[in-house]
Amino acid sequence: MDINELKDKIAKEAGLTREEIDKKVEDKVFELSELVSEEGAAYIVAKEEGLDLLEKRERSLKIKNIIPNLRNVEVIGKIVELSEVREFERNEKKGQVRNITIGDETGRIRIVFWNNMVDLTENLNEGDVVRVKQGFTKANTFGMPEIHLSARSTIEPEEKEIEVAEKSERYSEVPVSKNLGERKNLKEVADNDFLEAKAAIVSLSEREYITCPDCNSKLEEINGSCVCKDHGKVEPKRNLIIHGYLDDGLATLRFVSFKETAERIKNENLIGKEKLFTGRIKKNEYFGNLELMVNKIEDIDLDEEIGKLK
């Protein structure tokens, strides 16, 4: 069905007006940094309204299509690496963490198991094909997506043959020697570059949305309280997204920032101030243009800049 038929179906089955569905879809595209299509956003809205329009379709994502800040992620992959369980202490509390890497024909991605979730890895082995359900994604240090699990997440064996891609530019542990953080002019950037740009923000817009602090799912407001369908009444986690444009004197480039970097842009009013912006270049599938997913902002060290000119 086309997008208009899809929206009409959602409106009818959810008991909402078409105008309300149009607004929800538009908001969802913006919430996900315009990295999903209008159709994809409509299916997400349908799911949040309790509708299962994807019942007869494969629900899992290909690894190459996984981006940071997704919820309810489902993916199938072959385990290519399991780390040892690592114990740590934080704020006088002990914890544990284990990572596994899975792959499919499109790429590889890391899955992070914290504390009690580590038990889910007990019977896993390299070469197993697994299906992960109800995960959520975050960006790692290099701006690459990785999957995290909540109390409702599952990982189960999948009877399927998978050929894992030999090389993957999306692999979350790209070797540091591969020009990570290379200084580039904005007119020279290419999809999947991890770079540093000396530029200034020339325009921006912001939006805040609330999620569950435990599983990152969307919350409902009931009688003045924020309620997660899995964790009940919670104190909401407020998430800031800032979009805008950078200018380095040679070109302009759209950027997207989340959480701490977005907060810094807002709190320090960085419009017009030249800084060093580090992050990953991604192609916006909705608009077809390139944009920088910013994960670090630094002040410019003049002595260091002068040294680079010598």
Query: What SS3 state is found at 308?
Result: helix
Is residue 75 scored above 90 in pLDDT?
Answer: yes
Is residue 168 scored above 80 in pLDDT?
Answer: no
Is residue 143 scored above 70 in pLDDT?
Answer: no
Q: Which of 39-43, 113-117, 191-195 has the lowest mean pLDDT?
A: 39-43
Residue 107 φ/ψ region, left for φ over 0, alpha for ψ in the -120 to 50 degree band, beta for the rest: left
pTM of the model: 0.49
Confidence of residue 308 (pLDDT cuts 50, 70, 90): low
Residue 242 is predicted with a pLDDT of 92
Q: Which of 131-135, 281-285, 305-309 has the lowest mean pLDDT?
A: 305-309
Instruction: List helix spans (H) across the chain.
Output: 3-14, 18-31, 38-48, 259-267, 302-309
CA distance 206 to 204: 7
Under 8 Å between Cβ of 129 and 78: yes
Q: Look at residues 83, 223, 237, 230 and name the one whose alpha carbon lies nearest to residue 150.
A: 230
- Six token digits for residue 262: 């977005």
- Six token digits for residue 90: 């934080």
CA-CA distances (angstroms) from residue 225 to 132, 151, 219, 228, 233?
A: 31, 21, 10, 10, 7
Which residue type, as a one-letter code, is found at position 168?
A: S
Confidence of residue 179 (pLDDT cuts 50, 70, 90): very low
Residue 305 is predicted with a pLDDT of 75
Q: Which of 20-29, 108-117, 265-274 has the lowest mean pLDDT?
A: 20-29
For all residues of the chain together, what is the average pLDDT? 83
**What are the tens digits of pLDDT across the range 200-239?**
999 999 988 788 777 666 777 788 888 877 677 888 888 8
CA distance 91 to 225: 29
Mean pLDDT to the nearest integer, 266-280: 92
Q: Following DSSP, what letter does each residue of 203-267 receive, concatenated?
A: EEEEEEEEE-TTT--B-EEETTEEEETTTEE-PPEEEEEEEEEEE-SS-EEEEEEEHHHHHHHHH
Is residue 140 scored above 80 in pLDDT?
Answer: no
Dihedral sign for Cα 64, 183, 293, 82, please.
positive
Residue 259 is predicted with a pLDDT of 80
CA-CA distances (angstroms) from residue 155 to 6, 97, 118, 120?
A: 30, 16, 11, 7
Stronger pLDDT, 151 or 168, i.e. the higher one:
151
Is residue 52 scored above 70 in pLDDT?
Answer: no
- Six token digits for residue 81: 């690496």
Is residue 77 scored above 80 in pLDDT?
Answer: yes
CA distance 109 to 66: 9
Q: Which of 34-43, 153-162, 268-277 has the lowest mean pLDDT?
A: 34-43
Q: Which of 38-42, 72-76, 140-144, 272-276 has the lowest mean pLDDT?
A: 140-144
Residue 172 is predicted with a pLDDT of 40
Is residue 276 scored above 80 in pLDDT?
Answer: yes
- Looking at domain 60-174, its CATH superfamily turns out to be Nucleic acid-binding proteins (2.40.50.140)
Mean pLDDT to the nearest integer, 81-98: 86
- By percentage, how much of the chain surpasses pLDDT 70? 85
Looking at the chain, which residues constitute the CATH 2.40.50.140 domain(s)?
60-174, 182-309
Helix axes 38-48, 3-14, angle to 10 degrees: 10
CATH class, domain 182-309, is mainly beta
Under 8 Å between Cβ of 203 and 244: yes
